[in-house]
Structure 1
Amino acid sequence: MPAPAALRQRSRTLLVAASAPLALAALLADDVRVRHQLEAARKDPLTGLASRDALTNRINRLARSRRGQLHVLVADADGLKAVNDSLGHAAGDTLIAAIGHRLGTWAAARGGIAARLGGDELGATLLLPTTNTVREVVALRALLAQPVDHAGQTLRPAVSIGIARAADLPDAAGASRLLRGADMAMYRVKTGEQPCEYVATRQDAYAPTVHGRRPGRPGTHLATA
């Protein structure tokens, strides 16, 4: 018969062996929880969309692996100031949240993600055959324009959309150029210079900026290369 000391040692060994999987499971659960918390912290609290950094990282990855189908989109809500002034900022927030949710769902169904770039401006990346570009933009405009309910009132969104295709630009063009092209295209549509089906050109993607911002934005006056 084993000595009492040996029995106690064997019991401790068995206890440690039994508890190891539980400890590992707890560590893994904590790691998953922390990663989920970090991911949530990086998302925009109003729309739940990804950050600008997440969008640019995705664009750059797709530019290397799926360049022929890569599209980048910038959308800007029209008339948001009038909504804020007449109905309050809560109504404006409801409008942005609804547009963001719709854009995020639409982009995810096309192999991409959406992000809030700031204020009422949103961005997205998606994968499409270039032959589908115009049809998809027209369908997206109709989707984003669907009425939104706020406190018993019906809000009617209007959104200007610009889109750029990686296939139309030099192979070296990455996220910054594609976003600039989509932003310029959106501005041309918003001002009525181009129709809503307009697709960014190389000239749009390489347009001069003022401190990295498109001419025509508030606070930009002089264009530089």
Structure 2
Amino acid sequence: MSLPLIMIATASVAFTLGGLTMWPFIRRLRNHLTDAIWQLEHDPVTGLLNRAGLIAAHAALAEADNAGPIIVVLIDLDDFKPVNDTHGHDRGDDLLVAVGDRIHDIAALHGGTAGRLSGDEYAALLPVRTHDLARVADTFVALIAQPVELTADGEPVTVTVTASVGLALAEATDPFEEVALRRADIAMYHAKHHGRNRHAVYEPGMAMPAADSRRGPRLRDHRELNDEAMA
């Protein structure tokens, strides 16, 4: 074999061996990047979409060729704080996961997706398969109110929470936070204002209830105020 051919063969073998050596590193790097992207759009406690993930999901709906109206659901747990105070934050997280699983299942049943905005507040985006929004809302309210079995200090504990649920119809192309989520937020506060453990559907002209009927700022409220201050 001539010297040039030997050099070419040697270089080819070296390249192949180098590629085999680098492949595990490349695979690990790809896995790390995939995990990082997942974490950017998902809630670390429940595994549901987070705020950014919901915004991205809404953007995908708006960009679809067959973009049409959607149902936006805002779910706020009633009196969640006593669970943390009584059983600790770990059990509180367990409850958030259990409730999140139920919300996810209902959203998936209707062909939609669900996420956790912050704290004990969830949201869902559903395609309009029915105009009976009350029936959809009742499903969320009823299933969330089912007892949840937890373990605290090695002992079984049964915890029950309820939810105030607001629903709103919006076009997929409507701004998510300024229009779609805002309408569902107003409806949710009407549900909470009228006794909790119930739902309300947004109607044109519906306004936010008086401040004294609402609880203090949520994590999402604080974030929005900070965003406005930085603008």
Question: Does the TM-score normalized on the shorter chain lie above 0.5?
Answer: yes
Secondary structure of 1:165's counterpart equals strand
In angstroms, what is the RMSD of aligned CA positions? 3.2
User: Cα distance, 1:95 vs. partner?
Assistant: 1.5
| Separation in structure 2 between the aligned mates of residue 195 and residue 80 of structure 1, nearest angstrom | 12
> Is 1:51 aligned to 2:50, yes or no?
yes
**Which runs of 4 or more aligned residues in structure 1 lie more than 6 Å from their structure 2 counterparts after TM superposition?**
none
User: Cα distance, 1:28 vs. partner?
Assistant: 5.9
Distance 1:85 1:195, change over 3 A: closer
Assess if the C-alpha contact under 8 Å between 1:63 and 1:70 holds in 2: no
Distance 1:163 1:64, change over 3 A: farther
> Is 1:161 aligned to 2:162, yes or no?
no
Assess if the C-alpha contact under 8 Å between 1:112 and 1:126 holds in 2: yes
Task: Map residues 1-225 of structure 1 onto 2, 5 A cutoff.
Answer: 2-3=1-2, 5-16=3-14, 18-19=16-17, 22=20, 26=24, 29-30=27-28, 32-42=30-40, 43-65=42-64, 66-151=66-151, 152-167=156-171, 173-176=174-177, 177-192=179-194, 196-204=198-206, 207=207, 216-218=214-216
Assess if the C-alpha contact under 8 Å between 2:167 and 2:188 holds in 1: yes
User: Cα distance, 1:32 vs. partner?
Assistant: 3.4
| Separation in structure 1 between the aligned mates of residue 13 and residue 113 of structure 2, nearest angstrom | 47
User: Cα distance, 1:20 vs. partner?
Assistant: 7.7
| Separation in structure 1 between the aligned mates of residue 62 and residue 122 of structure 2, nearest angstrom | 20
User: Cα distance, 1:133 vs. partner?
Assistant: 2.4
- Number of residues of Structure 1 aligned to a counterpart in Structure 2: 209
Extract unaligned runs of 5+ from structure 1.
221-225
Secondary structure of 1:111's counterpart equals coil
User: Cα distance, 1:38 vs. partner?
Assistant: 0.9
> Structure 1 or 2: larger strand share?
2
What TM-score, normalized by structure 2, do the two folds share? 0.75
| Separation in structure 2 between the aligned mates of residue 110 and residue 12 of structure 1, nearest angstrom | 60
User: Cα distance, 1:202 vs. partner?
Assistant: 3.1
Secondary structure of 2:149's counterpart equals strand
| Separation in structure 2 between the aligned mates of residue 68 and residue 195 of structure 1, nearest angstrom | 30
| Separation in structure 2 between the aligned mates of residue 197 and residue 208 of structure 1, nearest angstrom | 15
Assess if the C-alpha contact under 8 Å between 1:68 and 1:129 holds in 2: no
| Separation in structure 2 between the aligned mates of residue 187 and residue 16 of structure 1, nearest angstrom | 67
User: Cα distance, 1:63 vs. partner?
Assistant: 3.5
| Separation in structure 1 between the aligned mates of residue 49 and residue 43 of structure 2, nearest angstrom | 6
Assess if the C-alpha contact under 8 Å between 2:48 and 2:116 holds in 1: yes
User: Cα distance, 1:67 vs. partner?
Assistant: 4.5
Distance 1:126 1:172, change over 3 A: closer
User: Cα distance, 1:73 vs. partner?
Assistant: 1.0
Secondary structure of 1:163's counterpart equals strand
| Separation in structure 2 between the aligned mates of residue 70 and residue 161 of structure 1, nearest angstrom | 16
Output one character per residue of 1:173-223: Cα deviation in whole Å (capped at 9) or x when no partner. 32021101111111111121799353112334xx579xxx9x934159xxx
Assess if the C-alpha contact under 8 Å between 1:181 and 1:202 holds in 2: no
Output one character per residue of 1:57-91: Cα deviation in whole Å (capped at 9) or x when no partner. 22233235355341111111112122223333333
| Separation in structure 2 between the aligned mates of residue 32 and residue 147 of structure 1, nearest angstrom | 41
What TM-score, normalized by structure 1, do the two folds share? 0.76
- State percent identity of aligned pairs: 30
Amino acid of the structure 2 residue aligned with 1:91: R
Secondary structure of 1:44's counterpart equals coil
